[in-house]
Structure 1
Amino acid sequence: MQTLSWIDWIVLLATLLTIVAYGTWKTRGRKTAQDYIKGGNTSKWWTIGLSVMATQASAITFLSTTGQAYTDGMGFVQFYFGLPIAMIIICLVFIPIYHRLKVYTAYEFLENRFDLKTRSLTATLFLIQRGLAAGITIFAPAIILSVVLGWPIVYLNIAIGILVIIYTVSGGTKAVMVTQKQQMFVIFSGMLAALFIILDLIPDEVSFTNALDLAGASGRMEILDFSFDLENRYTVWSGLIGGTFLALSYFGTDQSQVQRYLSGKSMKEMQMGLIFNGLLKVPMQFFILLVGVMVFVFYQFNQAPLNFIDTSIESVLASEYSEEYQNLQKQHHTLFNEKKALSLQLSKNQNNKLKHDLFILDSIEKTQRLESKYLIKRAIDTIYAQNFDRLKSELLAITNKNSNTYKEKEAALNTLYREAAKDTKTNDRDYMFITFILKYLPKGLIGLLLAVILSAAMSSTASEINALATITSIDLYGRNLKEEKDEKHMVKVTKLFTLLWGMIAITIACFANLAENLIQLVNIIGSIFYGNVLGIFLLAFFFKFIKANAVFIAALITQAIVITGWWLDWMPYLWLNLFGCLLVILIAFIIQIAQKNNDEVGTE
């Protein structure tokens, strides 16, 4: 557990409270649905562009993307290659339609084109996937503060969620966008400062060019992969094709993004805002990945732990595998000394033999880290087994005393059993950057970097619960009312739904886990739903002969097949976006043609 200095506390709290207070004050008194949901249609293009970027750049971006780069290198940037293409298509196709129809949500258009049930189904798919994602964006910064303060993650989930709810309920879309400009300024400033400090911490004899060369020798600078191997998640082709379809669905049909540019002063402002995002997003992600790679280079000269989660190490050292783990730590220390000497030598002498040797040592280190995780998992299993035997004996004793309370006690003990080692985790990539920040960065900058990550979490979560509330109030509640309600009523209802979705997001965060990697988890959740939703919109835009019933049935079938495909791991998750999109279009075609043939037969 780390402790913050008073300077870091001042920087952190002053930054966050200023953003919350400013957003609440600046957007107070929004009384009409136009003001509350669409921000009064007053946003300029740079506000739209920064808000779109801030919505996507959650705390997960800075925690997981840097961890991804540290472990696997720069190849993840290929994930974003399709984004500029998607921005152009959305500007040419989606925005003119939304602007002409003056919609509050993307799904209003679907009812105009198809019917109410198709609109409601698509809105519901959005609510499911975005509700899950909102919980994860709260969970990510809670990890940070749990490391810093040693507080339970559940309490931190609640605290972060409440901070976001305060200004989002107060000011609606305008509050989200006003605060996001300040948050993006904090984010850019903090990450630039972090990069310069990291470079300063690397030995003087190692230049920036040398650092890049060291990263390349360890396989961290392999940016482009032109292979068609479906086993590789991130290639040029998965980024250009799967990434384009994912970005089309996310920016074109996901209300958390659509609501950002629907607040634009004009169609031109909306389009310029998205183009601004398209031009800046890939360089921004490249920069964040580069920060992660530079942390990797730093650890070539400063020994990294086998596992970045202190509680995991404590658990294994307290188990019967303690001696085995300590031996592994000694091997890790010996390997570090070899790598450090070779890295210094390589920085002075460009030599292919040295690069090869460093690559081999890096592969050995990866193996050691995997072995470390394996030992930790074995320790966890041992803890579970020991607790199970103890709890089983307790359960038997209680059962003998009073059989009537058997089920109640069984449930309580099973809960205790599941809780036995839940705080011990083996996936530590998402802890890498925060551990580095707390251990090596100077006072004041630690507070700023924590403010960066928490600001990103707040901006993304605020956009999500704002969009979830809008969809619930407009597409489900408002559309199904038997009598029309006035503006004041709809604003009040939207605020209540904002509060409700904020509470739901907090609840989901409390049950979240690290899975494999947070940045991948969020994109996996999106990919399961986005392809299907995008296909529905493309059918609405371009295939006028396909009717509502065919689309509705096709969407249900497609979603079931995509979930099955993800569960059975048919393909890398990015390709699910293309697969779902094409599948719903194909099935809708088949159903519509079959229905047309049946109608023709029936009239003969």
Structure 2
Amino acid sequence: MSNIDVIIFFGYLIGITIFGSSFYRRNKTSSAFTTGSNSIPGWVIGMSIFATFVSSISYLALPGQAFMSNWNAFVFSLSIPFAIIVAVKFFVPHYRKINSPSAYTYLEDRFGSWARIYVSTCYLLTQLMRIGIILYLLALAIHAVFGWSIAAIIIVTGITVIIYSVLGGIQAVVWTDAIQGIILIAGALFCTGYILFDLPGGPGQLFAVASSENKFSLGSFNLNMVESTFWVVFIYGIFINLQNYGIDQNYVQRYVAARSEKEAKRSALYGGLLYIPVSMLFLFIGTALFVFYNSAAAGLPAELMEAAQSDRVFPYFIVQELPVGITGLLIASIFAAGMSTISTSLNSSATVFLTDYYERYFKKSATEKESMSFLYIATFSIGLTGIGIGLSLMNVTSALDAWWKLSSIFSGGMLGVFLLGIFTNAGSSTGAVLGVLSGIVVIAWLSLTKLFQLEETLVYQIHSYMTIVLGTTAIFLVGFLISLLNKSSESKKSENVT
């Protein structure tokens, strides 16, 4: 990059870091650190929800996915409205009524402490993978710009975000998210316009070439579960997005942090729906890049044409093709957006450790000083673990594909426990336990079959995206049926006694 781009890049990051750190004075209590003392404006919460969802995973991996294949990933976005409707109608009022910084307090009241521990553990594993994936994607972007070691970038970035998260708390997270969301959308729009009018044949060339190559395809509509067909991705999206907007600590903290239930509902609705057109924009950029580099507009290094390098194409375009000044701003915004998303995971995970473990089992009468000290230690520990995971993901084929597969496995069907508790009256502790055990068996069976490549088994013919679907379904159905049987048995015993 030019010196101007470098100055803009570091100036922007320093400014965002200072802005986020300025909230340190407002984080003197654990309540302020985790929920902002329930005083954050609704529009900020909404933009924060959007920015948390989009992150660097979407900004880099979605264009890479569209460049490498087609728009199959957009089917995931099409499932979002179904999840948001359920979240706004049922989950947001539920959490506002409980008024706990942890999303998992309810499960202990409903089924016992084991349910709270199980689901919170699944959540923490998922967030660790998320942190690692985003650190890796950020390193790709910076490596494309400066040529620095990807491993070194992951380590330095991780440590920087840890410090930023400790100083800023949830208020710094949501306010910086709001800023990043606006800048990311503006940057994506600029890139789209630049590519369209820089093609030798103009916008018409893009649509002609992309259509002939079937780049706008949403995937096959076959009813098999072997490949990432339209229906596999759509069903997967419904379950993952129900989990995101319904039980994910990242979102639940924002619902609780809003000033009122009305603002919380509006934030969930607008923050989620905004992702749909923006994800379409990112995929369009990927398709446009495919046409751009397969025309006479510009050349692309041969190694970036490989599937394993697809996530690096957009950063390469930003550095090589965009005007001076814009390059630095876009790279900085991608980097800072990733920082905000990581800080969200760090803050929410530390909150879970505090409320679901430390204050519940180790220090029930902890002082504010002790709680704040624990939050700092938890944030550092989670961040360091995330750095280690990021280093281990350096050779994945597609970051988006890896994230979807890993989140499907580590989520552990946790959605099933919530659905059993909230939407049925028959759910009992015994039924929930047996349901979870059956879900774990299903998830382990599917995962291990893929891991050891047991092609001769029937399970091997099921796409890995379906892991969360089948695991959640097993938990809900088994838990519900066992609870009904127990209830029926207890009723018969009561009649016999009478």
Superposition TM-score, scaled by structure 2 size: 0.91
Inter-partner Cα distance in structure 2 for 1:43 and 1:224: 41
Counterpart secondary structure, 1:195: helix
Change (3 A) 1:567 1:212: farther
Per mean C-alpha deviation after superposition, the further-off stretch among 211-220 and 297-306 is 297-306
User: For 2:284, which of 284, 290, 304 is the aligned residue?
Assistant: 290
Residue aligning to 1:44? 41
Amino acid at match of 1:228: L
| Contact 2:53–2:275 (CA under 8 A) maintained in structure 1 | no
Q: Which amino acid aligns with 2:139?
A: A
Q: Which residue matches 2:452?
A: none
Find the partner of 2:209 among 206, 211, 214.
Answer: 214
1:77 is displaced (CA, Å) by 0.6
**Is 1:267 the counterpart of 2:261 in the alignment?**
yes
Equivalent residues in 2 for 1:48-127 (5 A)? Answer: 48-127=45-124
Aligned with 2:479 (options 548, 564, 588): 588
Q: How far off its partner does 1:483 sit?
A: 4.0
2:329 to 414, 436, 448: 448
Aligned to 2:228, the other structure's residue is in SS state coil
What is residue 334 of structure 1 aligned with on the other side? none
Say if 2:26 and 2:32, in contact at 8 Å, map to a contact too.
no
Residues in 1 aligned to 2:385 and 2:219: alpha-carbon distance in whole angstroms: 40
Gaps of 5+ in 2: 450-459
User: What is the aligned partner in structure 1 of residue 454 from structure 2?
Assistant: none
Q: Where does 1:376-525 land on structure 2 (aligned, <5 Å)?
A: 427-481=308-362, 483-525=364-406
Q: How much does 1:592 deviate?
A: 3.5
Residue deviations 1:316-337 (CA, integer Å, cap 9, x gap): xxxxxxxxxxxxxxxxxxxxxx
Alignment partners' CA distance in 2, 1:139 and 1:565 = 26
Match of 2:198 among 201, 206, 221: 201
Aligned to 2:228: 233
**1:291, distance to aligned residue in structure 2 (A):** 0.9
- Please identify the structure whose Cα radius of gyration is greater: 1
Cα distance in 2, alignment partners of residues 460 and 95 from structure 1? 21
Cα offsets for 1:50-101 (capped at 9, x unmatched): 1111112221212211011111122321111111111111010011111111
Counterpart in 2 of 1:539? 420
Tell me which moved more, 71-80 or 286-295.
71-80
Q: TM-score, normalised by structure 1?
A: 0.76
Whether the aligned pair in 2 keeps the contact of 1:246 and 1:574 (CA below 8 Å) is: no
Q: Which residue of 2 aligns with 1:248?
A: 242
Number of corresponding residues? 484
- Paired with 1:571 and 1:272, the residues of 2 have a C-alpha distance of 37
CA distance in 2, matches of 1:307, 1:553: 53
Equivalent residue, structure 1, for 2:470? 579
Q: 1:141 corresponds to which residue? A: 138
Q: Deviations over 1:372-411 (max 9, x none)?
A: x6xxxxxxxxxxxxxxxxxxxxxxxxxxxxxxxxxxxxxx
Aligned position for 1:564: 445
2:214 is paired with a residue of what secondary structure?
Answer: coil
1:258 matched to 2:149? The reply is no
Give the structure 1 partner of residue 27 of structure 2: 30
Contact 1:249-1:531 within 8 A present in 2 as well: no
* Inter-partner Cα distance in structure 2 for 1:290 and 1:306: 21
Q: What is the alpha-carbon distance in structure 1 between the residues aligned to residue 278 and residue 235 of structure 2?
A: 21
Per mean C-alpha deviation after superposition, the further-off stretch among 563-572 and 444-453 is 563-572
Question: Equivalents in 2 of 1:113, 1:283: separation in Å?
Answer: 38
Q: 1:60, 1:172 → 2: CA distance?
A: 22
Residue type matched to 1:580 in 2? G
Structure 1, residues 578-602: CA drift from partner, whole Å, max 9, x if none? 2122110122234435656777789
Query: Contact 2:9 / 2:329 at 8 angstroms: preserved in 1?
Result: yes
Q: Can you list the C-alpha shifts for 1:104-130, whole angstroms capped at 9, x where unaligned? A: 111011111111111111111111121
1:549 CA displacement = 3.2
* Paired letter, 1:578: V
